[in-house]
Structure 1
Amino acid sequence: MKLSALYANKADIFPPIKFHEGFNVVFARVKNPKIKEKDSHNLGKTFLITVIDFCLLAEADKHHPFKIHSEVFKDFVFYLEIKTHSGHYVTVRRLVEGRNPVSIHVSHSPNTDLTRLFEPSWTYADLPLTKAIKQLNDLLDLSAIAPYNYRKGLGYILRRQTDYDELFRISKFSRSADKDWKPFLAQIIGFNHAIIDRKYELDETVDKLKLRQQTIEEEAGSTSEEYDEVKGLLEIRSSTLEGLRTELDQFSFRGVEAVINEDLVSNIESNIANLNRRRYTIDYELTEIAKSLETGFEFDLNRVQQVFAEAQLELPQALVHSYKEVIELNRRMSDGRKERLHKLRDKLERERAEIENLITDLDSERTAALAILEEKQTLEKYRKIQRRFSQQEAQVIVLQQRLADLDRAANIQKDIDTQRQKVNDAIQEIRESVRHDNSTYTAIRTTFSRCVERVLNVQALLSVSVNQEGNLDFNVRTLDPEMSGRETSEGAGASYKKILCACFDIAVVGVYASKPFYHFLYHDGIFEGLDNRKKVNLLNLIRDITINQKIQYILTVIDSDLPRDERDMKLLFTQEEIVRELHDEGDSGRLFKMPPF
């Protein structure tokens, strides 16, 4: 896969770029040094890689420059012609705006311009982005990276400035999990991606099972280690529950339906007490009446006359007559009083008899009420026991559920143990693959070391190791060839990291030069910040690989970053090598010949 041409529907603003099979330079002449500090869109040297990636069907979200500056680019249509490993030419047409923005044309020879090609002539017309990516992947047929699609490795092939910070973990994967890039990288350096993928999948399975187990344990309120404790507590609560059940079964009730309470009993007793007091009063009154009836009026006139005679006094007849009248009056009064007393006695006796009957009835009622009240108290006791029973029963149910949950957690633990064994088996496979001879890996490692030594004059060791989690780690370090392989500190600097990245990409693409793989590299600003000697060495390496290994290399550079020869003269590029020249002398010098956006 190589790039053949890039153009747009507005050639006056975006002139076509015809890429060479070998070395390609996007060269910017900058007279104003402040340009270098400004946004890369000012000239477009850095922006070109974004346009190419857009044509290779990168997702254009709201942060994409074409979306941010939609008013500027909304009418643009870009075309990228690609040469496939089989020798066919695939042209991708992509609209900046549109629901089905992609069309694809396939031919056996390069085309200079398809901007006027009618829709029916396109091999695949008006495709949505997802479908277009799948179709383009089938046409490019990069079987060397299967089952991954062509977009997976573009971050290594199209190295932006931000992709030099990490040799292996490019910015595209900076926020991704290891599983999103390590299996792919392992594949392209010669390892079996399936083993690496399976290990990550097994890790995910274990993590999901552990999360399920944790959720169940949280719901149960206990951990799997507390299973026996919960079981013992359930046995105790169940035993208590059975005891309460037996106690409840022994209760018997007869008059519990009666509406009886302690206040009612107190009222009965109060009525009895009142009646008793009244009966006592009646008894007292009857006694007094009896006494009154037994006592008569005693006045003996003869005795009075005898007393007067003994005293030799004469009782006057008038007085005798008066005494007789008094006696007669008193007799008549006494008879009336007795009659009233008899009537009162009869009334009191009747009242007393009624009181006796009432007291008898109330006593019976009180006795019955007390019996029922006793049963009521028994019922309260029953209810208390019943409440305890319900509480214990609820606890037993909860404990049974907890135990059932812990049984589920235990079963999940069995699954976890099974999966962990599979993880261990996968780790063992990974370790064996690292120890096993790997011709692709060996070729990439030796080529990489040779390239680094040619540029930096030190050897570099590319290695893989199995970390504590059983996953692959990719490592690189530079070595002092005169010190028995002792590590140097050169690889730690930003400029050396940039060279290591370039050499790694060159080594990988070089080893795959004859296979269905990416056969081009795009390194943006690779010379920036490098020592001049390193620039010269790297430039010589680039020219060699484009000639000897037929690798297409695209370099972007500002004239101030050009390497210099021994006489301090700039090593200029030929006009054939320069595919687009930019400058800071007006809009015509920009990638898009229009005011900066």
Structure 2
Amino acid sequence: MKLSKIYTNKPELFAPVEFVEGLNVVLAEIRLPENKAKDTHNLGKTTLGRLLDFGFLSGRDAKFFLFKHSELFKDFVFFLEIELNDASFITVRRGVKDATKIAFKKHEAGKQDLSLLQAAEWDHYDVPFDRARDLLDGLLDWRALKPWSYRKGLGYLLRAQEDYREVFQLRKFASKHADWKPFLAHLLGFNAQLISQHYLKEEELAKKQEIAQTIKNELGGSVEDVSKIEGILLLKKNDADKKQKLLDAFDFRSQDKDHTKLLVEGIDEKISVLNAERYSLSQNRKKILLSLEDDQILFNPDEAQQLFSEVGVLFQNQIKKDFEQLIAFNKAITEERRGYLQEERVEIEAELKRLNAELNTLGKKRSEMLSFLSGTDVFTKYKQVADEMVLLRADITSLERQRGFVHRLQELRAEIRTLTEERSHLQTQIEEDVERQNSTQDSLFSVIRVYFNEIVEEVIDRKALLSVSPNQQGHLEFKAEILDESGNATSADQGHTYRKLLCIAFDMAVLRAYIDEKFPRFVYHDGVFESLDDRKKENLLTVIHRYAELGLQPVITLIDSDLPIRIGEDPVFSDDEIVLSLNDEGEQGRLFKMRTW
């Protein structure tokens, strides 16, 4: 399948572009001196690739120039003529105003102008967009891409400048890896079904884990042991059954009996123990208070000195000094002891406060039970038991809800274990397939990587390596690297110039590997020679010519300043190869012969 022609219903504003067999060149000449230093010139060489994508039914993007400047282009209708594998042709009609209504016409001769064709003369007219894509997919018949649509591979066939940033992950593949890695693996000859299943299994596993985490959050801090929940639920239900029978029979004798037993054996016994404990603590506090009072020293050395003086005792000053030292010593001991006693008193008083509060609570419960037993109003007892039933049923409902959550959590855990095992099994199969494709010399991947290296080596005299390997999660990692003399990867591929060369080499290697399959034969590379030196440009041009001779249709764009400089008058391209010439001398030199937008 090759490109044949693109034209519009307004040839005075957009001249038809007819593609040829072999190499097709879109050459833009910068003739005005003030434009030679500019990076962009808005002549249309990049725009042509976007229009081809539009003709291949790209989705509607508000940023796309036809829609962004709809006032300028609303009356344009584009026609893309494609040569099919059986040498017949299909023309796709798509207008800007009604971009989702597509028409198709199949014909035997190429280079037609169907712009004046009436609606009834088209094979299919005003076909809805999604249906039109399906229809074009069948007409193109790119079987080697199946089960993917023809649109999936177009990104590698229509490379604009922004598509040279990555060899494998194109601008249109900005979404998650599961959307493009299986397709790329298929393109390179790996078992894409395993990779797709692996991503699906991971997605399913992630959803189950998310649900399980939500259930755990719902349970909060409650127990997750279903056996314990079942046990508590059984006891609650038995209690509820008893109370319900009591209510149904309107007989409270057993209820009175239960309360009496609880009162006698429970609350009274606990009150007795707490009272004994309170009594003991009160006695200890009393002793501490007495000890604190007894610790006071009543002896006064000054009074003793006066007494000794009156009776004529000798050495009274020395006696006073000894007593003062003794008192100071006793004070030091007493202060330390008082500190301990104070701390113990504080602890005892705090404990007494707690005991008093608990005794008050128990006393209130005891009073309520005695009131229940001594009450003569049977309806009051009925209401109390009914209130207890409401609380019991609320507990039962909550427990049943928890039980449901826990059962679901257990089921999810079993499903997660199964999914984890299935994912691991798929990962093993992926690793085996990758090893097999890498080690088999005549595998499709081996053929592509040989062609890829041949192209790069012929252009820059350095070997290049395509490699595919699974990471720890089982996802494939695709690499395109330039090697040094020792066969080690270098950082040369990280520069824009060499990365662009790797992109071009990859696209052409894939086309050559599929040359005998039902697969597209064209590839569009924008700005193909930019940043390369003259020798490498000549080398790349030699490769492109050779691939064109094999039956492929390379379409390249460049500005005249990127042409390799040649000694003599031999032109770089023949007149037949230049399918579109552009220049900066006015509107007539642009792709769209109108003011810039």
Please give the range of the TM-score, normalised by the shorter of the 2 chains: 0.7 to 0.9
- Provide structure 1 residue ranges, at least 5 long, that are not aligned to the other structure: 255-369
Shift of 1:575: 1.6
Give the SS at the match of 1:80: strand
User: Greater shift after overlay, 419-428 or 551-560?
Assistant: 419-428
Tell me, yes or no, if the aligned pair for 1:563 and 1:571 is still in contact at 8 Å. Answer: no
| Structure 1 residues 45 and 586, CA gap change in structure 2 (3 angstroms) | same
Cα distance change of structure 1 residues 71 and 36 upon mapping to structure 2, 3 Å threshold = farther
Verify: 1:558 aligned to 2:565, yes or no: no
Q: Distance in 2 between matches of 1:74 and 1:457?
A: 49
CA distance in 2, matches of 1:116, 1:247: 91
Counterpart CA distance in 2 for 1:149 and 1:16 is 28
Residue aligned with 1:151, SS: helix
- Name the CA shift for 1:379/1:506 in 2 (closer, same or farther; >3 Å): same
Inter-CA distance 376–574: structure 2 relative to 1 (3 Å threshold) = farther
Structure 2: 5+ residue runs without aligned partners? 256-369
Question: Could you tell me how far apart the structure 2 residues matched to 1:215 and 1:93 are?
Answer: 51
1:464: how far off? 0.8
Residues 167-214 of structure 1, C-alpha deviations (whole Å, 9 max, x = no match): 10000111x111111111111111122121111122222222223333
Match of 1:410 in 2: 410
Q: Check the 8 A contact 1:563/1:570 in 2, yes or no.
A: no
Instruction: Name the counterpart of 2:590.
Output: 590
CA–CA distance in structure 2, aligned partners of residues 430 and 390 of structure 1? 59
Distance change in 2, residues 1:371/1:488 (3 Å): closer
Label 1:44 to 1:241 Cα distance change in 2 as closer, same or farther (>3 A): same
Partner of 2:199: 200
Counterparts of 2:34 and 2:387 in 1: how far apart (Å)? 86
2:475 aligned partner? 471
1:89 shift after superposition: 0.8
CA contact (8 A) 2:7 2:80 kept: yes
Cα distance change on mapping 1:122 and 1:385 into 2, 3 Å: same
Determine the structure 2 residue equivalent to 1:309: none
- Three-state SS of the structure 2 residue aligned to 1:444 is helix
Counterpart in the other structure of 1:518: 520
Give the direction of change, closer, same or farther, for the CA distance of 1:178–1:593 in structure 2 (3 Å limit).
same
Distance 1:166 1:377 in 2: 88
The Cα of 1:79 is off from its aligned counterpart by: 0.9
TM-score by length of 2: 0.73
CA distance in 1 between partners of 2:158 and 2:128 (Å): 24
For residue 294 of structure 1, what is the aligned residue in structure 2?
none
Q: Does 1:227 align with 2:227?
A: no
**Counterpart mapping for 1:250-399 below 5 A:** 251-252=252-253, 374-375=374-375, 387=387, 390-399=390-399
Displacement of 1:432:
1.4
> Secondary structure of 2:152's partner?
coil
* Contact 1:241–1:389 (CA under 8 A) maintained in structure 2: no
Residue identity in the other structure for 1:83: E
For 1:85-100, list aligned pairs within 5 A: 85-98=85-98
Find the residue that maps to 1:46 and give its secondary structure: helix
Q: Which secondary structure state, in structure 1, belongs to the residue aligned with residue 91 of structure 2? A: strand
Q: 2 CA distance for matches of 1:589 and 1:554?
A: 20
CA contact (8 A) 1:43 1:583 kept: yes
Distance of aligned partners of 1:104 and 1:383 in 2 relative to their CA distance in 1, 3 Å threshold: same
Contact kept in structure 1, 2:32 and 2:585, CA below 8 Å: no
Counterpart position of 1:117: 117
- Quickly say closer, same or farther: Cα 1:371–1:20, change in 2 above 3 A: closer
Of the structure 1 ranges 139-148 and 205-214, higher mean CA displacement relative to structure 2 is found in: 205-214
**Which residue of the partner structure matches residue 211 of structure 2?**
212
Give a deviation string over 1:83-131, Cα, whole Å, max 9, x none. 1122221111111112763111112221431122232222222212211
Structure 1, 537-546 or 14-23: larger mean CA deviation: 537-546
Deviation at 1:396, TM superposition (A): 3.3
8 Å CA contact 2:161, 2:527 repeated in 1:
yes
Distance in 2 between residues matched to 1:181 and 1:187, nearest whole Å: 10
Alignment-mate amino acid for residue 9 of structure 1: N
Written as runs of structure 1 = structure 2, the 5 A alignment for 1:92-171 is 92-98=92-98, 101-171=101-171
Partners of 1:500 and 1:99 lie apart in 2 by 35
Q: Does the Cα contact within 8 Å between 2:182 and 2:195 map onto a contact in 1? A: yes
Determine the structure 1 residue equivalent to 2:504.
502
1:214–1:373 distance in 2 versus 1, CA, 3 Å: closer
SS at match of 1:106: strand
| 8 Å CA contact retained: 1:40, 1:47 | no
CA offset digits 1:201-238 (Å, max 9, x no partner): 22222222223333333333369xx532x642563475
CA 1:244/1:213 → structure 2, altered by over 3 Å: closer, same or farther? closer
Query: Quick check: 1:527 aligned with 2:532?
Result: no
Q: Aligned with 1:227: secondary structure?
A: coil
Tell me, what secondary structure is at the counterpart of 1:147? Answer: coil
| Larger-Rg structure | 1
8 A contact 2:183–2:192 mirrored in 1 = yes
Cα 1:393–1:104 shift into 2, 3 Å? same
Whether the 8 Å contact between 1:253 and 1:375 is mirrored in structure 2 is no
Distance 1:530 1:378, change over 3 A: farther
1:381 and 1:477, CA in 2 relative to 1: closer, same or farther beyond 3 A? farther
Q: TM-score, normalised by structure 1?
A: 0.73
In structure 2, do the counterparts of structure 1 residues 388 and 82 end up closer, same or farther at CA, with 3 Å as the change threshold?
A: same
The whole-number CA distance in structure 1 between the counterparts of 2:238 and 2:524 is 81
Distance 1:167 1:568, change over 3 A: farther
Measured after TM superposition, the shift of residue 387 of structure 1 is 4.4
1:169 aligned counterpart, secondary structure:
coil
**8 Å CA contact retained: 1:536, 1:564:** no
Residues 457 and 394 (structure 1), Cα distance of their counterparts in 2 relative to 1, 3 Å cut: same
- What is the CA distance between 1:62 and its match in structure 2? 2.1
Distance in 2 (alpha carbons) for counterparts of 1:12 and 1:41? 21
Is residue 49–residue 160 contact of structure 2 (8 Å, CA) maintained in 1? yes
Is the 2:229–2:403 Cα contact (8 Å) retained in structure 1? no
Q: For residues 584 and 245 of structure 1, do their structure 2 counterparts lie closer, same or farther at Cα, with a shift above 3 Å needed?
A: same
Instruction: State whether structure 2 residue 462 is matched by structure 1 residue 461.
Output: no
Task: Report if aligned partners of 1:464, 1:472 keep a CA contact under 8 Å in 2.
Answer: yes
User: Higher mean Cα deviation, 55-64 or 530-539?
Assistant: 530-539
- Greater mean alpha carbon deviation, residues 523-532 or residues 494-503: 523-532
